[in-house]
Chain A
Amino acid sequence: QVQLVESGGGVVQPGRSLRLSCAASGFTFSSYAMHWVRQAPGKGLEWVAVISFDETNDYYADSVQGRFTISRDNSENTLFLHMNSLRAEDTAVYYCARPSATGTSGYYSGLDVWGQGTTVTVSS
Chain B
Amino acid sequence: DIQMTQSPSSLSASVGDSVTITCRASETISSYLNWYQQKPGKAPKLLIQNGFSLQGGVPSRFSGSGFGTHFTLTITSLQPEDFATYYCQQTYSTPRTFGQGTNLEIK
A97 to B97, CA, bound (A): 15
B58 CB → nearest A CB, Å: 11
Q: Is the CB of B95 within 8 A of A60?
A: yes
Name B95's closest neighbour in chain A (CB-CB).
Answer: A61
Interface of A, helix, strand, loop or mixed by DSSP: strand
Q: Which of A36-60 contact B (CB under 8 A)?
A: 37, 44-47, 50, 59-60
Cβ contacts under 8 Å, B92 to chain A: 108
Cβ contacts under 8 Å, A114 to chain B: 43-45
Q: Can you name 30 A-B residue pairings with CB atoms under 8 Å?
A: A35-B96, A37-B44, A44-B85, A44-B99, A45-B38, A45-B87, A45-B98, A47-B95, A50-B94, A50-B96, A62-B1, A95-B43, A97-B43, A100-B46, A100-B55, A108-B32, A108-B91, A108-B92, A109-B34, A109-B50, A109-B91, A110-B36, A110-B48, A111-B34, A111-B46, A111-B89, A112-B46, A112-B49, A114-B44, A115-B43
